[in-house]
Amino acid sequence: MQDYSSAAVAFFTSIRVPSALVAGSQLGSLFSLVRLLNASNNTSGDDNKKRHQSQNTTRDWLIRLYHLFSLTALVLSINAIVTATAAATKLLMGSHDGVAESAYQFINRELRYEFILTRWSFLTSLLSFLAGITIRALLEFNLLDEKRRKAAVVVASSMAGLFCHLLSFVNSTLISAPNLFVMT
């Protein structure tokens, strides 16, 4: 048994940097693609109106979904930053008994809520970030076009594979819950 207070402080302070990077990138993403959404709402009729209307509806839906994922990643990243900062400050006050068998046991015993909330917020923000990147790639490279559907399938399948791999790995490291979805 040893004192794990410094390891707990290191955990909470180290999660703030990647959370800040995700938050910063997602703040800019919230304001992107707005012109594209507005342009599709102001289109006039043409010969292939039904085909374009169907493509615009899918594109508009994806743009809105992209903004939802960006907002989710931003809010959860900010939540992770604030919670981790508050937990680290709480630890620095020295009011906890830092002696435990492991850093995990110490954090789980003394700061369970902060630990679970910080970890869940960060991991969920990363998964939202990946979903947003996938949608952005589909839109930016015009992969909704019929001629580029194979490329769209490759991009979506690759990102879905990465998403599932990361989710599986994260679930294998959870001790406090059987999987990430149960943590919510």
What tens digit of pLDDT does each residue of 56-93 get? Answer: 788 999 999 999 999 999 999 999 999 999 999 999 99
Q: Reply yes or no on whether the pLDDT at 25 is more than 60.
A: yes
Residue 95: its pLDDT value, please?
A: 86
Give the pLDDT of residue 57. 87
Token representation of residue 54? 């169907």
pLDDT for residue 55? 65
DSSP string of 113-156? Answer: HHHHHHHHHHHHHHHHHHHHHHHHHHHHTTTTSGGGHHHHHHHH
Strand locations in 10-141 (E) = 99-100
Per-residue pLDDT averaged across 103-127, rounded?
95
Residue 34 pLDDT greater than 70, yes or no: yes
Which has the closest alpha carbon to 69: 116, 16, 32, 114?
32
CA distance 90 to 46: 63
